[in-house]
Amino acid sequence: MKSFNVPVHYRSPLVTAIKQQRKAADKLKKDFSPTHLTLGSLEVILARHFGFCYGVENAIEIAFRAVNENPGKRIFLLSEMIHNPGVNADLQMLGVRFIMDTKGNMLMNWNEITKDDIVVIPAFGTTLELEQQMREKGIEPSRYETTCPFVEKVWNRAEKIGKEGYTIVVHGKPKHEETRATFSHSQAHTPTVVVKDMTQAQHLSKYIIGELPPEQFYTDFRGQYSEGFDAKKDLQRIGVVNQTTMLASETQGIADYLKNVMTDHYLLNPTNIAERFADTRDTLCYATNDNQSAVQGMLQEAADFALVIGGYNSSNTSHLVELCEEKLPTYFIKDESCLLDGHSISHFDLHKQIERITIDFLPYHRPLRIMVTSGASCPDALVDKVIEKLAIITGNESAINNANIHFQVD
């Protein structure tokens, strides 16, 4: 896979060494068992896959190149480059300004942008409408476009099956940048509707089988369907694609569920299912799959609690948190500063959407076993710093430079 030029302070000698050892022992990436780091009375159980993915490193390289290639020019990002506060702060320190927030709300007047400015499209991609606005300003969107290739793969797949007469069902968070972009690209070719979870997919099925009146669809899915959508006609042939950072198993579950609905309703069999349902499973992101599978592999072992590191608005990181929460106490942190001391931790509560402080989060017994992973937009250096901070607050500072790394290849 291509090697990217990203700032050295995002790298970690420790994590790089671990990843290289794991890759050498498992070139085909079929082993999802974790890596164990022993630091005195602390054992860190590190997920097999975590951290920057291909799309994120590609985006970071292009964004910093845009800054370096355009001294003296104003440089803007449509919205956050990736969902990591540290990376975005680094770009802002270099003078980069955000045009919108992550929900699409304007942070400045679009009229302030001129043809002499540099505009970088973030890794999530953007809508066709915004691309057109840029062109009208005399700015070519593709010059510094950092859209993840795997997001573009979803767009291409949606376009292909859309042209074959299928309506696209997008599994994603309706207000997420990537889902808004995918929706825009898809609706340019075919009717499109967004479902945020299995509950909405099950509700959508009631319109497919005619259990609910078509006119009610426009209220139940307000803001989630393309202009001119015909709830009576456009749900007769469908295909499912996803926001690439969603929980892969949930996307597959939704696709399988809707496939069964179509099969039962239209009395289909394996030889003619394609008449009503398009196979789109190849739109699932490899990094999302790998990171989630690695967490599931890590959770096969016992531990006192789990730490998941990443931006609090990161979709892929939030799903890693959800997986861990099913098995053991889990703390969602943005960096090592959240480990306040040996007694307190500042962390994000996904369910209440607030940052909170938990007292006495560290068990008193020794040795301690702590699981650690991070989202696809989290630099390896942050993981390194969290491990170092864990060693310090557990009284294992002297073992930091002599960590015992071991893993079992299945």
Question: Cβ neighbours of residue 397 under 8 Å, at least 6 residues apart?
Answer: 391
Distance between CA 195 and CA 376 in Å, rounded? 23
Distance between CA 359 and CA 349 in Å, rounded? 14
Calculate the alpha carbon distances from 250 to 155, 217, 262, 312, 374 in Å: 20, 23, 18, 21, 20
The sign of the CA dihedral 244, 245, 248, 253 is negative
The sign of the CA dihedral 322, 324, 326, 328 is negative
Question: Cβ neighbours of residue 364 under 8 Å, at least 6 residues apart?
Answer: none
Question: Comparing C-alpha atoms, which of 32, 124, 47 is closest to residue 78?
Answer: 124
Distance between CA 149 and CA 346 in Å, rounded? 35
120: exposed, middle or buried (Cβ count in 10 Å: 0-12, 13-18, 19+): buried
Question: Cβ neighbours of residue 61 under 8 Å, at least 6 residues apart?
Answer: 4, 5, 6
Concerning whether 336 is annotated as a catalytic residue, the answer is no
Catalytic residue among 145, 178, 322, 336: 178
For 360, phi and psi rounded to 5 degrees?
A: 55, 45
Query: Which residues are part of the catalytic machinery?
Result: 178
